[in-house]
Chain A
Amino acid sequence: MANLQGAIARQNTYDAIVIGSGISGGWAAKELTGRGLRTLVLERGRNVEHGDYPTAFTENWEVEGRNRSSLDVIARQLKQSRAGYTTLPASAHWFADDIDNPYSEEKRFDWMRGYHVGGRSITWGRQSYRFNELDFEANVREGIAVDWPIRYDDLAPWYDYTEKFAGISGSLEGLPQLPDGNFLPPMEMNCLERDVKKRVAIAMGGRPIIIGRVANLTQPHMGRASCQYRNRCIRGCPYGAYFSSNAATLPAAVATGNLTLRPFSIATEIIYDTNESRASGVRIIDAQTGEAIDFFAKVIFSCASAVASTFILLNSKSERFPTGMGNDSGELGHNLMDHHFKVGAAGISEDFADKYFRGQRANGIYVPRFRNISKESTRSDYVRGFGFQGGASRLDWARGIKEFAAFGAKFKADMIAPGPWRFGIGAWGECLPYHENKLSLNSELRDKWGQPTVSFSCEWKANEYAMRRDMKASAVEMLEAAGLKSVTPFDDVSAPGMCIHEMGTARMGKDPKTSVLNKWNQIHAVPNVFVTDGACMTSGSCVNPSLTYMALTARACDHAVNELNRKNL
């Protein structure tokens, strides 16, 4: 019996285990296998090979419901459908079943999950910006939360490293608030965007509007093809033309020969070895058989996504860690953040009536943060800042729905022709880390596999609301200054979670008494466990976080391997 158990244990023993195969997990897989570690990647969902994208070429008329999901789909994805676009027919299969995977909310939290190999690296928005120097200093300068244990200069070489592999297209701008990276050629702005850019620069004292920095390739890159300008990225790209685990990092890991990928593996806890004072492995439930299986490794990377990684830690209870692995500080589960958005403005232009574009650009324009970045731009009503994403397009036939008195031959002809140009921008704003914004483990509500679930208690507070007022006002001001007509603001419900940039809950920090992770993303008290997904974030900035997860993951993997080689782990 002992021999058999020993044999199974040896069979289940690897050099490294990675929990999750999304943006962070894919990078951990690539880096660890690339440095020679036999690496097991545990993914809770089904396998998705690159190219397994069933809706990649689906046309509108090939979907029965056209622009609507069926009632059955919505019934199983009530919470996933809150984002408005996730459960449309083209992408519903990339989001979790809310009935099998329930969660609870003391306050509304829209938790969008991608439970399959590749995770949300298939459906992400692909906007890729570096944090800036201010982002890393903001907490300590303002006396908020805790200080990051790293600075921009620590991460810069890893931004370089990950950008070069991933392939980010963008323009060099020399803006301190939005550090330049290693870019493939930028995509181009259309007629109205160029015009608005010029006018805003003149009217708003040089305020820059730039083309988005996006993880879509503008030329072939490392065996992946250039973007074909279909703008159907959310469905998965058979050309591999945007960065995903499936198209980029996982194939690189496979090529090393060191990767074992195990789908349908739900990590329930990280196993703590009291005698050795270290983690020994990961316990999973096989999603198909319900069987509990233990896997063992010297080093464990939790890259399950922010909420999931923290949940696994909370569920990893032992005598040493009665409230969850690494929770000596009591901060595990706390300081939950997201970006708040869905506020901005749009306006019409009568110019360029005889101009159009060809190709559907999978990118927009970006207005880098211009508030609280200097003495002159310091606000009295809020701290931190926001950026705008948006762009110009010609209004299409959807505008005709509300024109009640318009119908018939002329109406049809008008709707077939491109409508007037419209330029719109929406702001993405930073949320402060508040201790009270948290997630916790709920043993009363169980999922399909009998596991406890997540309960959220998170809300925007005064700083966010004050910022939103300025987001709206400054959008209107900018568009009017650009000469656009009928400038109309919008300010729609933006519940925490909806932006799908959930961050925090296992924050990095200098002091084990007030943080969960150290400067290398190691749990202070369990140095052979690394957390490099959104959970590690000590503050959230206003820029899309995925590029930062890539950089942090690659940096932490490098440290992990070096430590293993130095026999420190």
Chain B
Amino acid sequence: MTTEMSMIMTRREVLKRAALMLGAALSPRIFSHSLQAAAQVSPNQAKARFLPAELHKIAGAFSERILPRTSTPGATDAGVGDFIDIMYGKYLSVEERKLLDDGLSELDAASRNLHRAGFASLPGVDQDAMIMRLATESKDREKSFLAQIRELVIVGYFTSEIVGKTVLGYDPVPGRFDPCIPLSETGNVLWNR
């Protein structure tokens, strides 16, 4: 091996190591550590500041069905319920708040009608069935409750710290641009932006 080749090999390894240090690759050990941290902070168990308590609970349960905890954090771990609460209180317009209020209430009412129990207390499979039905009903509606809450859940999840740092690729100061590299080298995940 020529000197140049061995130098190139070394530089590539250095880059790989640097990427790992920035958390670009998710490893189970990193995740379980952050899970513990998340449990201490107890996201979503915090009292609702703006949403009525019951609706806050329903929103939290709903979020967890959309993005459940698997080997990676779920919506609850990412504090999505609290995010929805803050958005409701300070960022949504009057119309948007009403859409959320009505949507969550109607979902809960439908649940009590069908299962004689509130949405938040249903088993997961029944919650999923109700979400599926909502999806079919909402299909052709431009400004539906489902569209709104999905946006809140998905944005809240993917812009959260635990997801940004331990699920997506976290690279706050790349320092360079590698325009075309194997996806496997970046951990098969989207970059946090």
Contacts and interface: CB of A to CB of B under 8 A. Distances in A.
Contacts of B159: 60-61, 66-67
B180 A194 contact: yes
Interface in A136-195: 187-191, 194
Interface string B144-157: 00110011001110
B174 A358 contact: yes
A71 B181 contact: no
Interface string A298-332: 00000000000000000000000000000000000
B189 A418 contact: yes
A415 to B, nearest CB: 7
Contacts of B68: 408-409, 412
Interface string B53-81: 00000000000011110101010000000
B119 interface: no
Contacts of B184: 354
Contacts of A417: 188-190
Given A188-B179, A394-B190, A405-B135, A416 B173 contact: no
Interface stretch (B5-13, B28-36, B83-91): B83-91
Contacts of B147: 401-402, 404
Interface in B145-193: 146-147, 150-151, 154-156, 158-161, 164, 167-168, 171-186, 188-193
A401 B149 CA distance: 9
A71 B191 contact: no
A355 B188 CA distance: 9
A60 B165 CA distance: 11
Given A189-B179, A401-B150, A412-B67, A59 B161 contact: yes
A85 interface: no
Nearest to A354: B183
B167 A71 contact: no
Contacts of B17: none
Given A65-B87, A68-B91, A402-B147, A191 B179 contact: yes
B177 A356 contact: no
Contacts of B192: 59-60
Nearest to A218: B177
Contacts of A418: 183, 188-190
Contact of B131 (A64, A352, A407, A416): A407
B90 A64 contact: yes
Contact of B164 (A59, A194, A231): A59
A398 interface: yes
Given A66-B156, A355-B183, A411 B150 contact: no
Contact of B154 (A354, A394, A400, A409): A400
Interface in B79-125: 83, 86-87, 90-91, 93
A231 B177 CA distance: 11
Contacts of A59: 161, 164, 172, 192
B14 interface: no
Contact of B179 (A64, A357, A398): A357
B103 to A, nearest CB: 13
Best-surrounded residue of A188, A230, A411, A416 (most CB of chain B within 10 A): A416
Interface in A44-94: 57, 59-61, 64-71
B90 to A, nearest CB: 6
A408 B156 contact: no
Contacts of B21: none
B143 interface: no
A70 B66 CA distance: 26
A416 B167 contact: yes
Contacts of A354: 182-184
A351 to B, nearest CB: 12
Contact of A64 (B86, B174, B176, B181): B86
Contacts of A64: 86, 90
B180 A404 contact: no
B191 A360 contact: yes
A416 B183 CA distance: 13
B177 A416 contact: no
A416 B190 contact: yes
B154 A401 contact: yes
A70 B91 contact: yes
Interface string A195-236: 000000000000000000000000000000000111100000
Nearest to B70: A409
A398 B91 CA distance: 19
Best-surrounded residue of A57, A356, A417 (most CB of chain B within 10 A): A356
Contacts of A401: 147, 150-151, 154-155
B128 interface: yes
A357 to B, nearest CB: 5
A407 B65 contact: yes
A189 B178 CA distance: 9
Nearest to B79: A61
Contacts of B185: 356, 358
Contact of A190 (B172, B179, B193): B179
Given A356-B186, A405-B135, A417-B189, A228 B154 contact: no
Contacts of A355: 180-183
A156 to B, nearest CB: 30
B164 A61 contact: yes
A397 B174 contact: no
A230 B173 contact: yes
Contacts of A361: 177, 179
A356 B172 contact: no
A350 interface: no
B132 interface: yes
Contacts of B138: 404
Contacts of A394: 190
Given A60-B192, A412-B72, 10 more contacts: A60-B193, A352-B180, A358-B186, A360-B191, A404-B134, A404-B147, A405-B136, A407-B66, A407-B128, A415-B154
Interface of B: 19, 65-68, 70, 72, 74, 83, 86-87, 90-91, 93, 128, 131-132, 134-136, 138-139, 146-147, 150-151, 154-156, 158-161, 164, 167-168, 171-186, 188-193
11 contacts: A60-B159, A64-B90, A67-B155, A229-B176, A230-B173, A357-B181, A358-B186, A401-B154, A405-B135, A408-B68, A412-B70
